[in-house]
Structure formats: structure tokens, C-alpha cells
Amino acid sequence: MMNEIIFIVEESPEGGYTAKALGEDIFTQADTLKLLKASIADSVKCHFDDDNLPKIVRMHIVKDELFAIS
């Protein structure tokens, strides 16, 4: 049984967010972080059977920020 699954979350250039699981073939997207959490939960439930369902989902939110130095 897996205790935890980690998702890398990034802002999409088109708007909204994308999430990719580390070590699993799970990818999802949504317009808001609240909707993304629900989408991740649904995707995880579909990917694993009840006996192997992770207990914890960790979202690692990555945000690139650019600025100029004058």
C-alpha cells in the first residue's frame, strides 16, 4: 500500500493549473486550485484500486517568477 503520492503543480500558460504525479502516469488540469484538488482526487481514485489507494496527496506547487534587474 502506498502512503503518499506527490503531484507537481504548475500554472498553465493558457490559464489554470496542471498536475503531474511523480512515479505514476497521472496527469490532470483545472481552472482553479480548488477544482484541481477535486480532479487530482478523482484521478487517483481511478488509477488505484481501493487496496492501494494512497492515504495522503501532496501538491508541490511550482511557480516561476521573472523580474528585471536595473
Q: In the 3-class helix/strand/coil scheme, how is the chain assigned residue by residue?
A: CCCEEEEEEEECCCCCEEEEECCCCCEEEECCHHHHHHHHHHHHHHHCCHHHCCCEEEEEEECCCCCCCC
Span 56-67, average pLDDT: 92
Could you tell me which CATH number the domain at 4-62 has? Answer: 3.30.2390
Question: Is pLDDT of 2 > 80?
Answer: no
For 4-61, what is each residue's pLDDT tens digit? Answer: 999 999 999 999 999 999 999 999 999 999 999 999 999 999 999 989 999 999 999 9
